[in-house]
Structure 1
Amino acid sequence: MTLNADIAPPAPLRGVRFPRVLRTRLRDIKALRLLRGGRISDPGRLPRYAGVFLLAGAAIWAPILSYLETAPLRYTSGLSLILPGSGASASVNLDRIGQASSYANSPFSSPSVSPTETYKRLLAADRILGAAAGSMDMPKTDFGKPRIELVDQTGLIHVQMTGNSPADAQARADALLAAFFTEIDALRNDEQAVREDGGRSALEDYRASVAATREEIARLQRETGLINAAQYQTLVGEADGLRADLAALEQALVEKSRAVEVLRATLGIDAAGAAATLKLHADAEFNAIIAEMAAHAGALAEAEGKYGPNHPALRAAHSDHQATKRKAQQRAAAITGLNLVQVQMLDLSPAGGRVELLAQLVREESARAGLAAEVDSARARLARADARVLDLIGPAARLEDLERDFAVAEAVFASAMARSQTSKVDLYASYPLVQVLENPSLPDAPSSPRKKLAIAAGVAATFMVLIGLAMGWLRRPLIDRLLHTGDQG
Structure 2
Amino acid sequence: MTMQDTFSGQTISTPRKPRLSLRRILMGGRVGDPKRFPRYLAIAVLGGALIWAPITGYLRTAPLSFRSTTSLILPGSGASASMNLSGIGQASSYSNSAFSSNSVSPTETYKRLIGADRILEAAASSMALSRQEFGKPRINLVDQTSLIHLEIAGGSAEEAQARGDALLTAFFAELDALRSDEQTTREDSGLAAIDDYRTSVAATRSDIARLQQESGLISADQYDAIVESTRMLESRVLDLTATLDEKTQSVLALEASLGIPASAAAATLKLYADAEFNALTDEVGIHAAALAEARSQFGEGHPKVQTARAAHSAATTAALQQAGAVTGLERAQLEMLDLAPAGARADLLAQLVRMEAERAGAERELATLSARLTDEQARQQGLAAAAARLQDLQRDFSVAEAVFATAIARTQSTKSDVYASYPLVQVLENPSLPDSPSSPNRKLAIAAGVAATFMMLLGLLLGWMRSAMIGRLLNAPTGRKTGLDGVGVPA
What TM-score, normalized by structure 1, do the two folds share? 0.80
1:387 aligns with 2:410: no
What is the match of residue 82 of structure 1?
73
1:191 to 158, 173, 182: 182
1:435 equivalenced with 2:426 (yes/no): yes
- Which residue of 2 is the match for residue 215 of structure 1? 206
Among 207, 210, 218, which residue is 1:227 paired with? 218
1:326–1:468 CA distance, 2 compared to 1 (3 A) = same
Alpha-carbon distance, 1:317 to partner = 7.5
1:177 is aligned to 2:163 = no
Judge conservation of contact 1:38–1:476 (CA < 8 Å) in 2: no
Deviation at 1:398, TM superposition (A): 2.4
Partner-residue secondary structure (3-state), 1:441: coil
Residue 372 (structure 1) aligns with: 363
State the distance in 1 between where 2:286 and 2:161 align. Answer: 147
Matched position secondary structure for 2:427? strand
Matched, 1:396 2:400: no
Distance 1:315 1:166, change over 3 A: same
Q: Which residue of 1 aligns with 2:326?
A: 335
Distance in 2, Cα, partners of 1:225 & 1:483: 128
| Range with bigger deviation, 426-435 or 297-306 | 297-306
1:416 and 2:407 aligned: yes
Secondary structure at the residue paired with 1:352? coil
1:250 aligns with 2:258: no
Aligned mates of 1:459, 1:98 — CA distance in 2? 78
Question: In 2, Cα distance between the equivalents of 1:408 and 1:335?
Answer: 74
Kindly indicate whether residue 62 of structure 2 is the aligned counterpart of residue 71 of structure 1. Answer: yes
> CA separation in 1, counterparts of 2:419 and 2:475?
72
Deviations 1:168-201 (A, max 9, x none): 2222222212211221222222222222222233
Count, aligned residues: 462
In 2, the alpha carbon distance for the partners of 1:409 and 1:92 equals: 18
**Displacement, 1:127?**
1.0
- How is 1:160-171 mapped onto 2 (pairs within 5 angstroms)? 160-171=151-162
SS of match in other structure, 2:67? strand
Q: Judging changes above 3 Å, is the alpha-carbon distance between structure 1 residues 318 and 150 closer, same or farther for their aligned structure 2 residues?
A: same
2:270 maps to 1:279: yes
CA deviation string 1:354-400 (max 9, x = no partner) = 32222222111111101101111121222222223222222222232
Distance in 2 between the 1:96 and 1:121 partners? 47
Q: Which amino acid aligns with 2:353?
A: V
Give distance in 2, aligned partners of 1:398 and 1:482.
117
Distance 2:59 2:399 in 1: 78
Instruction: Answer yes or no: is the 8 Å Cα contact 1:38–1:45 preserved in 2.
Output: no
Match of 2:197 among 192, 202, 206: 206
- Write out per-residue CA displacement over residues 261-295 of structure 1, whole angstroms, 9 at most, x where no aligned residue: 01211222212222222233333444454455556
**Cα displacement (A) at 1:440:** 1.6
CA contact (8 A) 1:39 1:476 kept: no
Q: Which amino acid aligns with 1:343?
A: L
**Alpha carbons of 1:291 and 1:157: their partners in 2 closer, same or farther (altered >3 Å)?**
same
Letter in 1 for 2:439: S
Superposition deviation, residue 432 in structure 1 = 1.8
Q: Percent identity?
A: 57
Task: Give the residue type in structure 2 aligned to 1:269.
Answer: I
Residue 107 of structure 1: SS of its match in structure 2? coil
2:250 corresponds to = 259
Distance 1:168 1:328 in 2: 138
Give the 3 Å change call, closer, same or farther, for CA 483–163 of structure 1 in structure 2.
farther
Shift of the alpha carbon at 1:126?
A: 0.9
Normalising to structure 2: TM-score of the pair?
0.80
**2:355 corresponds to which letter in structure 1?**
E
From the superposition, tell whether residues 21 and 95 of structure 1 become closer, same or farther in structure 2 (CA, over 3 Å). farther
Q: 1:411 to 1:329 in 2, by over 3 A?
A: same
Letter in 2 for 1:185: D
Structure 1 residue aligned with 2:115, among 121, 124, 140? 124
1:351 is the counterpart of 2:341: yes
Cα offset for 1:133?
1.1
Q: Determine the C-alpha separation between the residues in 1 that align with 2:419 and 2:163.
A: 27
Alignment partner of 2:139: what SS?
Answer: strand
